[in-house]
Amino acid sequence: MEKRSYIGIGLLGLGVVGSGVAKVLWKRADMFAEQLGLPLSLRKVLVRHPAKHRELEVEPRLLTTRFDDVLADPTVDIVIEVMGGESPAKDYIQQSLVRGKHVVTANKEVIAKHGPGLLALAREHCRELRYEASVGGGIPLIAPFQQDLAANRISAIHAIINGTTNYILTRMANEGMDFSAALRQAQELGYAEANPANDIEGTDAAYKLAILATLAFRSQVRPQDVFQEGISRLGARDFRYARELGYTIKLLAISKEKNGAVEARVHPVFIPSDSLLAQVGGVYNAVQVEGDLVGKVIFYGRGAGAEPTSSAIMADVLAISRNICCAGLAPAWLRSDRNKAIIPVADIETRFYLRMNVADSPGVLAQIARILGENQISISSVIQKENDRQAQTAEIVIMTHPARESAMQKALKEAAALEVVREIANFIRVEG
Amino acid sequence: MEKRSYIGIGLLGLGVVGSGVAKVLWKRADMFAEQLGLPLSLRKVLVRHPAKHRELEVEPRLLTTRFDDVLADPTVDIVIEVMGGESPAKDYIQQSLVRGKHVVTANKEVIAKHGPGLLALAREHCRELRYEASVGGGIPLIAPFQQDLAANRISAIHAIINGTTNYILTRMANEGMDFSAALRQAQELGYAEANPANDIEGTDAAYKLAILATLAFRSQVRPQDVFQEGISRLGARDFRYARELGYTIKLLAISKEKNGAVEARVHPVFIPSDSLLAQVGGVYNAVQVEGDLVGKVIFYGRGAGAEPTSSAIMADVLAISRNICCAGLAPAWLRSDRNKAIIPVADIETRFYLRMNVADSPGVLAQIARILGENQISISSVIQKENDRQAQTAEIVIMTHPARESAMQKALKEAAALEVVREIANFIRVEG
């Protein structure tokens, strides 16, 4: 183990994602130091305009406009590249590795086009190159392929990995909107860029698929190997027919291995509307992987945004840091002693569903409602039906607003004691 | 880097899961050796009855009935514990760590009850204790909490982590079955044990939740801290009302952190039927995690079975092996050179949806069907409607059986040339 007092970070780019990363480094300093046994320290930040006003205050002495300042700083152990675009990002990653720095990048274009070469370079220099943030925002995807699914032979990937197009398709499907109206809405909400070609033509998804397929099939799949077709030619009618036939239209990124060869394609598809991927709405992403041991697994979450992307970048930074300072051993907090109290179930608040058999006579609901009210439980809806004429009983179903478990238990006891209540047939808590 | 010619494995238990692991070690020997740069070698297998007939043939000289034989074998680097139960498994894990062996276990009971103590012991002896297989079969869960989500503050877990109960609840919801009939079906299909108490009372789920909550909230949550209520008191009526109110009933394992305290509970809940967790049917598992950076992520897959469990166990074994032989560096195959061919899109087979505007005259469908037939494309269904009387056109929608892309492109060209076809309005591939 090396003797050091911190792990130094160089940050390339201070845009939306870069600012997100800087903020997390600052906000979570204590938590990271506790996990690693020593702090992460931001040493240099490469920006284009140091004088620009930023919401996030970074110490001015850390800002530089020259990449060489980051490269030459011996205190920078890990370079985080969040500039985006192929050039000069690829060059900076390369130089960083050659100079013995570990690299974490969110750059899907660079990894899709040059991943294997850069990874070889990293190994040559005994450094790590990590890129969890390049696909699916904060959803763990790269690590699962590299580690958790490493014993499997993967046969197929089906992925919704572009939030912009999934948002547009969700609006078209749910509201019968046509493509251009849905695109306009997405732009107004900031889900689509002014020039949306990269998303709606499938290029962004093709980069991400190339990255995932290369990992899954352990053979280089380049962006130009991915057949690509966008969503602009979809009409409201297609959605209508899809629904009629039991399907939903999604832009899927699909890659499969068959007889030792790989297919890779991004295009709109009909998928059965009862499949889980069909339920993935709005800007959410989901990646379905089929492995021969694990069967079908799905990873779902927000595929973009400063915070989810920072989550992935920091996971990579922490993993490298653990390797630097404790040879990859599990983080210290796994020794978790009890340091937080357990909330007793009596103190938990949920909504409740109650089903009771009651006498079929007037005023019953009023008596029950009074008991609930006395216990600070308010009713959100009531169903009364299925009278059993012979037994002269009726069934009442009540949904409540959030209430304390202890209050509910007390109310149930009191209600059970009412002459008109034959049986508290069931009560079930409600989540979500 | 130590000089060694293999990584030695000791296997404790050769039941369903143990046999699955032994089979994967044997079937995937080449793949693992390639990933690690040296082979995994099964050195000893602890069994109760060495003479018992087994489908899987393990060399008899590897079998032993004495744990001490495994412990004393200096060639065993990693002990895989798949005996299940608290005793003697806990003791064997402990002794293995003390003797300097890494341990991989699938034992939820031992980890839920003794995880923190065993992890401390592992650290003390500079060894790893991994337990990915203890929760959710092959679904990556432990590693994501330890690594991928490590930068987050987790606020909530909502999990379907018991396949038996989810199968029963799915049957009750979909078919109006009552509890005992659904349980009987689950037993007949091997999804529930003869004595199903551990599953249906929520004990199994409580163990798993204790493990996940301890990781998520970085504070020990013990099985006895988890409030627990089973599914046996649910009636067909409750499912009917749930549906009427827009809900589905699931056995959820829930844990949340609020103001520095943790709540943990396993019980049936109403969840909105349009939520993703409500769509998780049959024996599948799903774990939803909310982190402050990542937002909501969901991990979905098969939660049990020999193969999914082997997938998780081998992921742990490979991770430890990488740490042993290459200091945690990314596996060699990440240098993925192109070694597999790319299948051109022309050769890909899918089903197709076609939408055409045609002349509103007799025999049109016959002409189109002939062209499809000549190109070996068969039709699975046809919708014809929305005639535009003024323009004298009709709209035809055709779903095909699987067909080659090249054949479809040729057929579309030919169909477009038909006098009666005004426009091929769209064609969309179908998946699933």
B206, burial (CB in 10 Å: exposed 0-12, middle 13-18, buried 19+): buried
Q: Please say whether the beta carbons of B102 and B320 come within 8 A.
A: yes
Where is A314: in which H helix or E strand?
helix A306-326
CB atoms closer than 10 angstroms to residue B88: 14
User: Is residue B329 over pLDDT 70?
Assistant: no
What pLDDT score was predicted for residue B3?
59
Q: Of B302, B327, B362, at which residue does a domain stop?
A: B302
CB atoms closer than 10 angstroms to residue B279: 17
CB atoms closer than 10 angstroms to residue A121: 18
What pLDDT score was predicted for residue A23?
96
Co-location of A149 and A289 in the same domain: yes
User: Is residue A329 over pLDDT 90?
Assistant: no
Residues of B taking part in catalysis:
208
Average pLDDT, chain B: 93
A101-120 mean pLDDT: 96
Q: Which residues have CB under 8 Å from A205's CB, separation 6+? A: A159, A161, A162, A165, A199, A228, A251, A253, A266
Q: Please say whether the beta carbons of A284 and A163 come within 8 A.
A: yes
What percent of the residues of chain A are helix, what percent strand, and what percent coil, each to the nearest 5?
40, 25, 30
Helix axes B163-175, B236-245, angle to 10 degrees: 70
Where is A102: in which H helix or E strand?
strand A102-105
B192-198 mean pLDDT: 93
Nearest to A327 among B122, B277, B327 (CB): B327
> Looking at the domain assignment, is residue B1 inside a domain?
no
What pLDDT score was predicted for residue B331?
47
**AA identity, residue A188:** E
Contacts 24+ apart (CB under 8 A), A384-391: A387/A360, A388/A360, A389/A360
Co-location of B274 and B166 in the same domain: yes
Tokens of A405: 């478990």
Q: Please say whether the beta carbons of B281 and B300 come within 8 A.
A: no
The residue count of chain A comes to 432
Identify which of B4, B13, B135, B23 has the alpha carbon closest to the alpha carbon of residue B79: B13
Q: Which of A147, A302, A382 to mutate to test the interface with B (most CBs of B within 10 A)?
A: A147
Flag whether residue A394 sits within 8 Å of chain B, measured between CB atoms: no
Q: Please say whether the beta carbons of B264 and B283 come within 8 A.
A: no
What pLDDT score was predicted for residue A336?
57
Co-location of A176 and A287 in the same domain: yes
Co-location of A390 and A289 in the same domain: no
A234-259 mean pLDDT: 95
Q: Please say whether the beta carbons of A370 and A360 come within 8 A.
A: no
Cross-strand partners of B247? B272
Question: For residue B88, is the peptide bond before it cis, meaning its omega torsion is within 30 degrees of 0?
Answer: yes
What is residue A414's three-state secondary structure?
A: helix
Nearest CA in chain A to B305: A294
* Residue A44, min C-alpha distance to chain B (Å): 21
Cross-strand partners of B421? B358
Co-location of A217 and A319 in the same domain: no
- List the strands of the sheet with A102-105, edge to edge: A63-64, A40-46, A7-12, A78-81, A102-105, A129-130
DSSP string, B163-225: HHHHHHHHHHHHH---HHHHHHHHHHTTSS-SS-HHHHTTHHHHHHHHHHHHHHHTS---GGG
- Cβ within 8 Å, pair A428-B268: yes
In this predicted model, what pLDDT tens digit does every residue of B239-265 receive, in sequence order?
A: 999 999 999 999 999 999 999 999 999
In this predicted model, what pLDDT tens digit does every residue of A137-185 receive, in sequence order?
A: 999 999 999 999 999 999 999 999 999 999 999 999 999 999 999 999 9
Q: Cα–Cα–Cα angle for B80, B85, B89, nearest 5°?
A: 45
Co-location of B106 and B225 in the same domain: no
> Looking at the domain assignment, is residue A340 inside a domain?
no
What pLDDT score was predicted for residue B392?
82
Co-location of B298 and B317 in the same domain: no
Flag whether residue B29 sits within 8 Å of chain A, measured between CB atoms: no
The residue count of chain B comes to 432
Q: Please say whether the beta carbons of B394 and B423 come within 8 A.
A: no
> Looking at the domain assignment, is residue A222 inside a domain?
yes
Among the ranges given (A51-60, A120-129, A274-283), the one the predictor scored with the smallest mean pLDDT = A51-60
Tokens of B190: 């091997």
Identify which of B364, B347, B316 has the alpha carbon closest to the alpha carbon of residue B132: B316
Give percent of chain A with pLDDT exceeding 70.
96
Co-location of A66 and A45 in the same domain: yes
Tell me the H-state helices in B279-387: 306-326, 364-374
User: Is residue A327 over pLDDT 80?
Assistant: no
**AA identity, residue B54:** R
- pLDDT classification of A35: cutoffs 50, 70, 90: confident
The CATH number assigned to the domain holding A152 equals: 3.30.360.10
What pLDDT score was predicted for residue B332?
45
> Looking at the domain assignment, is residue B2 inside a domain?
no
CA distances to A175, A177, A182, A243 from A236, rounded to whole Å, are 9, 6, 11, 11
What is d(CA B106, CA B147) in angstroms, rounded to the nearest whole number? 19
- Cβ within 8 Å, pair A265-B348: yes
Q: Which residues have CB under 8 Å from A74's CB, separation 6+? A: none
Identify which of A24, A17, A74, A64 has the alpha carbon closest to the alpha carbon of residue A44: A64
Flag whether residue B40 sits within 8 Å of chain A, measured between CB atoms: no
Nearest to B220 among A158, A242, A336 (CB): A336
First vs last C-alpha separation in chain B: 47
What pLDDT score was predicted for residue A1?
42
CB atoms closer than 10 angstroms to residue A69: 16
Interface ipTM? 0.93
Q: Which of residues 143-182 of B touch A (CB under 8 A)?
A: 143-144, 146-153, 158
What pLDDT score was predicted for residue B1?
42
What pLDDT score was predicted for residue B187?
95
Nearest to B315 among A151, A219, A275 (CB): A151
Tokens of B75: 């060639």
What is d(CA B122, CA B18) in angstroms, rounded to the nearest whole number? 23
Q: Which of B123, B247, B334, B337 to mutate to test the interface with A (most CBs of A within 10 A)?
A: B334
Domain interval for residue A147? 142-302
Co-location of A261 and A194 in the same domain: yes
Q: What's the structural domain count of chain B?
A: 3
Cα-Cα-Cα-Cα dihedral sign, residues B318, B323, B328, B330: negative
On the CB side of B187, how many CA atoms lie within 13 Å of its CA? 13
B178-197 mean pLDDT: 94
Helix axes A108-124, A203-217, angle to 10 degrees: 30
Most confident of A381-385, B31-35, B156-160: B156-160
A324-332 mean pLDDT: 57
Give percent of chain A with pLDDT exceeding 90.
85
Flag whether residue B120 sits within 8 Å of chain A, measured between CB atoms: yes
Q: Of A243, A278, A302, at which residue does a domain stop?
A: A302
Tokens of B142: 């432990």
Q: Of A302, A327, A357, at which residue does a domain stop?
A: A302
Co-location of B20 and B120 in the same domain: yes
Q: Which residues have CB under 8 Å from A184's CB, separation 6+? A: none
Flag whether residue B109 sits within 8 Å of chain A, measured between CB atoms: no
The CATH number assigned to the domain holding A399 equals: 3.30.70.260
What pLDDT score was predicted for residue B311?
97
Residues of A taking part in catalysis:
208
User: Is residue B333 over pLDDT 80?
Assistant: no
Flag whether residue A237 sits within 8 Å of chain B, measured between CB atoms: yes
Q: Please say whether the beta carbons of B347 and B408 come within 8 A.
A: no
Cα-Cα-Cα-Cα dihedral sign, residues B340, B345, B351, B353: positive
Q: What phi and psi values does residue B224 have, to the nearest 5 degrees? A: -75, -10
User: Is residue B50 over pLDDT 90?
Assistant: no
User: Is residue B327 over pLDDT 90?
Assistant: no
Q: Please say whether the beta carbons of A236 and A178 come within 8 A.
A: yes
> Looking at the domain assignment, is residue A399 inside a domain?
yes
Co-location of A294 and A148 in the same domain: yes
User: Is residue B76 over pLDDT 60?
Assistant: yes
* Residue B244, min C-alpha distance to chain A (Å): 10
User: Is residue B387 over pLDDT 90?
Assistant: no
Output DSSP code: residue A191.
Answer: S
Nearest to B428 among A132, A150, A238 (CB): A238
What pLDDT score was predicted for residue B382?
93
What is d(CA A392, CA A170) in angstroms, rounded to the nearest whole number? 49
Flag whether residue A290 sits within 8 Å of chain B, measured between CB atoms: no
User: Is residue A326 over pLDDT 70?
Assistant: no
Co-location of B176 and B67 in the same domain: no
Tokens 């469908």 identify what position?
B365
- pLDDT classification of B157: cutoffs 50, 70, 90: very high
Q: What phi and psi values does residue A43 have, to the nearest 5 degrees? A: -100, -40
User: Is residue B336 over pLDDT 70?
Assistant: no
